Chains A and B, each alone.
Chain A
Amino acid sequence: MFRLLIFVLLVAAAAQAAPVAKSVVRIEATFQEPSYKAPWASGEVSSGVGAGFIISGDRIMTNAHVVSNSRFLTVSKEGDSRPHPAKVLYIAHDCDLAVLTVDAPGFFRGTSALDFGGIPEIESTVSVYGYPIGGSRLSVTQGIVSRIDFQTYSHSGMDSHLTIQIDAAINPGNSGGPVLQRGKVVGVAFQGYSGDVAQNVGYMIPTPVAKRFLKDIADGRYDRYVDLALSYKNLFNPSARRALGLQDDDRGVLVGSVYGGGSSDGIVRPGDVLMAIDGLPISSDATIRMDKDSVPLAEVVERKFKGDTVAVDVLRGGKPLQLRVPLNGPWPFTLHSNAYDEDPRFILFAGLLFQPVDQNWMSEYQPDDLRLRYTFDFFVEDKIYKERPEIIALSGILADPVNAYANDFRHAIVDEINGRKILKLSDAADEFAKPADYYVIKMAGSGRPIVLERKAVEEARQRILSRYGVTKEQKL
């Protein structure tokens, strides 16, 4: 439903554009998308244009999706169209932000770094700067702040953060441009809907998210967002409130699931009622009051970092409890995130291509196989990761006499190889590396095993590599 759009603003008032022009850059990126179906080969090369803006420390902020999978980046300044090679210093795919720098001496001379403001008021006017479809001159559009809420960031496809909706015209062509109010950055334009879904709806990343990113990388490393890793449900129902020992005061949400391996695992329990977070009372619609705004309770955790703790007041069995949750990464949720800047991992054995299944793999193959879809969809919810930290699937077959009878098993999940449970890709590599008369691959669910004779595998090896132009047999 979401389509990432690159935003551009047409410069309406030259007087206003003049100072900003010193801060906005045009980014041209050359990408190479990995090829999941032929992972030994390098992927297709394409290019795109986005915007960025200069921030303190001779850095350029832009969207992660502008520079993801990039092989070569150039930036150019307004009024000076020479492209300068740039490089990515930090990239945060979970909040769609990146910081770049330019090595060319003197590039930043004459530019002015923009400062960050706060959260703009609803109905206040903002200006969006960037480079729309194919254009090389800076453009600006104006709009008002429509609402402030959590939204899914479509770059990763599964992270939600605070997002500001504006009604400025926003078109594909310049993500990463700054949104300004009274000379300060109040957001980074990053996504919108395609015209057939909604009109005059554009989204920007607000400053709490941008500032958090800059703070996270201050130690020289990006640690990602932290998460409570639990789900909760509103508590509007009067009987449910009474049954849980709550008063009719519009407070508290009910914990549904606590995800294993996540921050709250072993601390918060399903059935607990969350009453307050870091001392802020939680309403029955799962919001808190923060900076005068009503925001989802997750916003408290959103502003924290790996290693921080959060205080959670819960009601358990009618008794109040004060819990402290040390915050760590979001594993195992990353399985469902779009991944970037990663080469696909694989093993090719006897013409059979084995790969770990993740969101990228699913988008590429779009399998119909029910068992695979179940294992992927319910990986977290049904705690499948406990038995199977990685889902290894037979994703493709390079047809050869050695694998002539393996066709039924396309997109099946590898369960065992020579009696060993396959928990991750390297387990499969280990078993295939061991000398054995037969390699017996059992797939999850019912079915006969795939049997490969060593002699046949060895005979087939060079034949398959040369016939299919395979340059690499594994990447673990």
Chain B
Amino acid sequence: MIARCLPLLLALCLPAAAGVFSTPQPPKPPAPNKSLSVVRVNATSQAYDFVRPWAKKPPGTRRGLGTLIEGGRLLVTAELIANHTFIELEKAATAEKSSAEVECVDYECNLAILKPSDPAFLAGMKPLALDRSSRVGDRATILQLEPNGEIAQTLGTVTSISVGGYPLDNMGLLLFRLSAPMQQRDGSFTMPAVRDGKLLGLLMRYDARSQTADIISTPVIEHFLKEAAKPAYGGFARAGLAFSSTRDPQLRRYIGLKEAGGVYVTDVMKGGAAEKAGLKKADVILAVGGHPVDQDGNYQDPDWGRITFSHITNTIFHPEDTLVFQVFRDGKTLEVPVKLAARDRAKIISESSVVDRPPRYVILGGVVFLELSRAYLQEWGGEWMKQAPQRLVFLDAFQNELPEDRGKIVFISKILPTPDTLGYEDLDNLVVSKVNGKEIRSLDDVVAAAQFPVDGYQKIEVDEDPGLIFLDAASIEANREALVRKYSLPSLQRL
């Protein structure tokens, strides 16, 4: 009904408008057929439940646009396909469909490459080249799909180019910010932004109130594609340090800093690139890779202007590259080569995001053991920092201060009441230090230690009250089947 009325209204209005303006509108250049470069992506996803780690949450569907880029690769945001169970591609105009697989995904930079199951699916489509020359003030267009398959275009202006937070993994990477008045449309999860027929980036976040869109920038996309082309994906390096500005003249005089710029190193991550290179807290970083760094940590990038120097370490350079840091320490200026490295995920005590893989758990006689991750804490919702169990929130927040060999933080998330756990029903979120006298640094340790009950008891030591928990080893063994059946558990462990 509405669709039929709309053209009619337009037809009536246009002549009237033409009559108002004294000069006729110049004819618009024919827009390139953008629909040839984008396909609709329908991703069904199902997140894991970290409170009931044996179950998955109800499935949901996200829709977005995949953009075909040079090299025949279909680019989407990683968020779109996080925890996916099924991905479907759909040509907007013809509704022709194909399922797809993820060829490469990196949640730190929020990008993924999809590969259609039907190799011929992308035939006839026109890839977009990457735009390499956008500047603040440039106009760009965000593409959306109307339900009928038409492309809706929203014109916006690049208002800033800076290093900013990417949503999934606390990574700071180059962002384009666009000011554009967008409307909620079918498939709002990933949308390409284009300029002069080239891809500027993928929209990953839109704030309706301020009408600003955050765009994953082309340098980040290029870095991701370069890594994806390697036999082993190396990702984005982290220098492994935190710094603060040296704007305070009193601080500058106190540390004897004469140069105009430099940032003060406030923290060096254990096992990170900076620590291995010998950088220390209280060092002042004067230059990185030959680029002088100002008081706020910015350098002058030939393409993007004044941006944070982390762009050099994480996006321009790649893991395994070596970069020279010029450092001011104790009145002297040193040249420190830093061999860049991506984060060693195996060494992370509490991971900030756990995607595409199920949480590990062990259930012993009704006692549920988990390894701490931020994903667990985030089950408490937006206010999780205040609502989630505080001991665990603090352990997660200050994990860099824990001993490097701490291993995972294993804790009892809850007790499934059974005859074996009588009297323990109210225990939850207790950090486990030992099981049967053996130190616990992972769930595997729990499983191994449980093989050796002490005097017939599983003896669990926890950091907080009640301190000690005993389970009858023979009885929990005998009650395994009943526990599985009563609580409909698919399995008593998943490692």
* Closest residue of B by beta carbon distance from A408: B244
List the one stretch of B13-21, B132-140, B336-344, B421-429 in contact with chain A: B421-429
Within 8 A of A (CB), among B465-483: 465-472, 475
A256 at the interface (CB under 8 A from B): yes
Given the interface contacts A239-B420, A370-B385, does A446 sit within 8 Å of B242 by beta carbon? yes
- For A235, the chain B residues whose CB sits under 8 A away are 423
Question: Contact flags (1/0) for A366-407 with B, using CB distance below 8 Å?
Answer: 001011011001100100000000000000000000001100
Binding site for B on A (CB under 8 A): 231-240, 242-244, 254-257, 270-271, 368, 370-371, 373-374, 377-378, 381, 404-405, 408, 438, 440, 445-449, 451-453, 456
- For B457, the chain A residues whose CB sits under 8 A away are 239, 242-243
Q: Are B465 and A257 in contact (CB under 8 A)?
A: yes
Q: Are B254 and A240 in contact (CB under 8 A)?
A: no
Rounded to whole angstroms, the CA-CA distance of A445 and B401 in the bound complex is: 9
- For B467, the chain A residues whose CB sits under 8 A away are 233, 254-257, 270-271
- For B84, the chain A residues whose CB sits under 8 A away are none
Q: What's the nearest-Cβ distance from chain A to residue B38, in Å?
A: 42
A446's contact among B253, B266, B466, B472, by CB below 8 Å, is which? B266
Q: Are A447 and B422 in contact (CB under 8 A)?
A: no
Q: Are B266 and A448 in contact (CB under 8 A)?
A: yes
Q: What's the nearest-Cβ distance from chain A to residue B272, in Å?
A: 13
A238's contact among B254, B281, B472, by CB below 8 Å, is which? B472
B397 at the interface (CB under 8 A from A): yes
Q: Are A239 and B254 in contact (CB under 8 A)?
A: no
- For A447, the chain B residues whose CB sits under 8 A away are 244, 266
Q: What's the nearest-Cβ distance from chain B to residue A111, in Å?
A: 49
Q: Are A240 and B250 in contact (CB under 8 A)?
A: no
Q: Are A254 and B466 in contact (CB under 8 A)?
A: yes
B251 at the interface (CB under 8 A from A): yes
Given the interface contacts A256-B465, A446-B242, does A374 sit within 8 Å of B472 by beta carbon? no
Given the interface contacts A254-B466, A374-B394, does A446 sit within 8 Å of B423 by beta carbon? no
Binding site for A on B (CB under 8 A): 242, 244, 246-248, 250-251, 253-254, 264, 266-267, 281, 385, 390-391, 393-394, 397-398, 420-424, 455, 457, 459, 464-472, 475
Q: Are A244 and B470 in contact (CB under 8 A)?
A: yes
Rounded to whole angstroms, the CA-CA distance of A443 and B468 in the bound complex is: 36
- For A373, the chain B residues whose CB sits under 8 A away are 390, 394
Rounded to whole angstroms, the CA-CA distance of A442 and B472 in the bound complex is: 51
Q: What's the nearest-Cβ distance from chain B to residue A449, in Å?
A: 7
Given the interface contacts A371-B398, A378-B391, does A240 sit within 8 Å of B244 by beta carbon? no
* Closest residue of A by beta carbon distance from B427: A233
Rounded to whole angstroms, the CA-CA distance of A316 and B475 in the bound complex is: 25
Given the interface contacts A370-B385, A452-B250, does A243 sit within 8 Å of B455 by beta carbon? yes
Q: Are A233 and B465 in contact (CB under 8 A)?
A: yes
Given the interface contacts A254-B467, A451-B248, does A240 sit within 8 Å of B390 by beta carbon? no
Rounded to whole angstroms, the CA-CA distance of A119 and B220 in the bound complex is: 74
Given the interface contacts A405-B251, A440-B254, A451-B251, does A239 sit within 8 Å of B390 by beta carbon? no
A-B contact pairs, 30 of them (CB 8 A): A234-B423, A235-B423, A236-B423, A237-B422, A239-B457, A239-B472, A240-B423, A240-B468, A240-B470, A243-B457, A243-B459, A243-B470, A255-B467, A256-B465, A271-B467, A370-B393, A371-B398, A373-B394, A374-B394, A374-B398, A378-B391, A378-B394, A381-B464, A440-B254, A445-B398, A446-B281, A448-B251, A451-B251, A451-B254, A456-B250
- For B393, the chain A residues whose CB sits under 8 A away are 370
6 smallest beta-carbon distances between A and B, as pairs = A236-B423, A256-B465, A233-B466, A405-B248, A446-B267, A239-B472
Q: Are A449 and B459 in contact (CB under 8 A)?
A: no
Q: Are B394 and A448 in contact (CB under 8 A)?
A: no
Rounded to whole angstroms, the CA-CA distance of A445 and B266 in the bound complex is: 9
Rounded to whole angstroms, the CA-CA distance of A228 and B140 in the bound complex is: 70
Rounded to whole angstroms, the CA-CA distance of A438 and B252 in the bound complex is: 12
Rounded to whole angstroms, the CA-CA distance of A271 and B470 in the bound complex is: 12
- For A238, the chain B residues whose CB sits under 8 A away are 422, 472
* Closest residue of B by beta carbon distance from A270: B467
Q: What's the nearest-Cβ distance from chain B to residue A372, in Å?
A: 11
Q: Are A239 and B465 in contact (CB under 8 A)?
A: no
Q: Are A448 and B420 in contact (CB under 8 A)?
A: no
* Closest residue of A by beta carbon distance from B253: A453
- For A243, the chain B residues whose CB sits under 8 A away are 455, 457, 459, 470
Q: What's the nearest-Cβ distance from chain A to residue B329, in Å?
A: 14
Rounded to whole angstroms, the CA-CA distance of A255 and B465 in the bound complex is: 8
- For A408, the chain B residues whose CB sits under 8 A away are 244
* Closest residue of B by beta carbon distance from A256: B465
- For B254, the chain A residues whose CB sits under 8 A away are 438, 440, 449, 451, 453
- For B385, the chain A residues whose CB sits under 8 A away are 368, 370
Rounded to whole angstroms, the CA-CA distance of A87 and B281 in the bound complex is: 57
Rounded to whole angstroms, the CA-CA distance of A446 and B400 in the bound complex is: 11
Instruction: Beyond the given A237-B423, A239-B471, please list 10 additional residue pairs across the A-B interface where CB-CB is below 8 A.
Output: A236-B422, A237-B422, A239-B420, A254-B467, A370-B397, A374-B398, A405-B248, A446-B267, A451-B248, A451-B253
- Could you say which of B247, B457, B475 has the most chain A C-beta atoms within 10 Å of its C-beta? B457
Q: Are B390 and A377 in contact (CB under 8 A)?
A: yes
- For A368, the chain B residues whose CB sits under 8 A away are 385
Rounded to whole angstroms, the CA-CA distance of A393 and B267 in the bound complex is: 21
- For B248, the chain A residues whose CB sits under 8 A away are 404-405, 448, 451
Q: What's the nearest-Cβ distance from chain B to residue A455, in Å?
A: 10
Q: Are B390 and A254 in contact (CB under 8 A)?
A: no
Rounded to whole angstroms, the CA-CA distance of A216 and B424 in the bound complex is: 39
Q: What's the nearest-Cβ distance from chain B to residue A439, in Å?
A: 9
* Closest residue of A by beta carbon distance from B425: A236
Q: Are B244 and A254 in contact (CB under 8 A)?
A: no
A239's contact among B242, B250, B266, B470, by CB below 8 Å, is which? B470
Rounded to whole angstroms, the CA-CA distance of A76 and B385 in the bound complex is: 50
Rounded to whole angstroms, the CA-CA distance of A452 and B281 in the bound complex is: 20
Q: Are B251 and A370 in contact (CB under 8 A)?
A: no
- For A404, the chain B residues whose CB sits under 8 A away are 248
Rounded to whole angstroms, the CA-CA distance of A404 and B254 in the bound complex is: 16
Rounded to whole angstroms, the CA-CA distance of A345 and B250 in the bound complex is: 28
* Closest residue of B by beta carbon distance from A440: B254
- For B466, the chain A residues whose CB sits under 8 A away are 232-233, 254, 256
Q: Are A370 and B244 in contact (CB under 8 A)?
A: no
Rounded to whole angstroms, the CA-CA distance of A437 and B457 in the bound complex is: 64
- For B398, the chain A residues whose CB sits under 8 A away are 370-371, 374, 445
Q: What's the nearest-Cβ distance from chain A to residue B375, in Å?
A: 18
Rounded to whole angstroms, the CA-CA distance of A239 and B242 in the bound complex is: 50
Rounded to whole angstroms, the CA-CA distance of A405 and B469 in the bound complex is: 50
Rounded to whole angstroms, the CA-CA distance of A234 and B426 in the bound complex is: 11
- For B242, the chain A residues whose CB sits under 8 A away are 446
Rounded to whole angstroms, the CA-CA distance of A370 and B254 in the bound complex is: 29
Rounded to whole angstroms, the CA-CA distance of A239 and B472 in the bound complex is: 5
Rounded to whole angstroms, the CA-CA distance of A448 and B243 in the bound complex is: 8
Given the interface contacts A271-B467, A374-B398, A451-B248, does A239 sit within 8 Å of B264 by beta carbon? no
- Could you say which of B253, B264, B470, B471 has the most chain A C-beta atoms within 10 Å of its C-beta? B470
Rounded to whole angstroms, the CA-CA distance of A51 and B264 in the bound complex is: 61
